[in-house]
Amino acid sequence: LIDSWLYKTGSWLIFVLNFRNGFTNAAVSFTVPLITSRDYGWGQLENSYIFVALGIESIVSTMLIGYLSKRSCDRNLITTWGLVSHGGLLAYVLLSGFGTRGIPSWLFIACLVWYDSGTIMPATQSLYSKMIGKANAGLYFSVLQANGSMATAISGEVVGFAYGSLGAPCLWVIVHSLWGISWVFQFLMWKRLHPDYIDAMHERLGTTSGKGK
C-alpha cells in the first residue's frame, strides 16, 4: 500500500531509490572488512585508510554534484551518478565471481572508489523535496529517514547471512536485483521527474514545489 500523497506526487519512487542506496551503502561498508580480511589479511588500520580515501572522494563527488546541479536537473544527475555507482558494483561482482574469489587489492580499491564516486544522495533528496512539496516536507522527510534506517538494518542482516552461511553471491544478487528493479521504476517515471512536470503537477494539486532544475 502506498500513501495517497506519495502516489499522487510520484514521490514513492524516491523511497525505492533511497532504500536501494541505503541498502547498498551499508552492504559495502559491512563487507569491506570481511573481504579485506579474507583476501588480503588486512586489519583495522589498513581498512581505515580505505574509508578515509572514500570519505575524501565522496566530498569531491558531492562538490561536483553541487556545481552541476546549477546546470542540470536532479533527474539527470541521479541517472548519471547512478550509472557510475552501479558500474563500480558490477565491475567488482564480475571480476570477483560474485564475491567468491579475491582480486588484486589495487583493483578492489579502484572498484570501491568507482562505486562511491557515484553518490547520489544529495540529488535524490533535492528531487524528493521538490516532488513532495514544501507543506509536507517535514513529515515526509522523517518517513524517508526511517526508510533509510530500515534499509541499513536489513542490509546488515543479509550481509551476516551471506558471508556467514549462504555465500557471498546471495548478497550481490540481492544488491543488483534492487538496482535492476529501481532502474525499471525510474525510467517508467522518467517524464514525471522533469522539473516542468513537477511544477505543473503541484499547480494542479494546489501546492508549492521547490523551485530549481
Nearest Cα to Cα of residue 30 among 123, 164, 143, 176: 164
pLDDT of residue 12: 93
- Other Cβ atoms less than 10 A from the Cβ of 104: the count is 11
pLDDT of residue 161: 95
Nearest Cα to Cα of residue 136 among 33, 3, 41: 3
pLDDT of residue 66: 80
pLDDT of residue 140: 83
Longest dimension (CA), the chain: 59
Q: What is the pLDDT of residues 63-114, one digit of tens each?
A: 888 888 888 899 999 999 999 999 999 999 999 999 999 999 999 999 999 9
Predicted structure pTM score? 0.90
Write the single-letter amino acid at 74.
D
User: What does each of the 213 residues of the chain score in pLDDT, given as a tens digit?
Assistant: 568 888 888 999 999 999 999 999 999 999 999 999 999 999 999 999 998 988 888 888 888 888 888 888 999 999 999 999 999 999 999 999 999 999 999 999 999 999 998 877 878 888 998 888 876 677 788 888 999 999 999 999 999 999 999 999 999 999 999 999 999 999 999 999 999 999 999 888 887 665 544
pLDDT of residue 213: 42
Write the single-letter amino acid at 165.
S
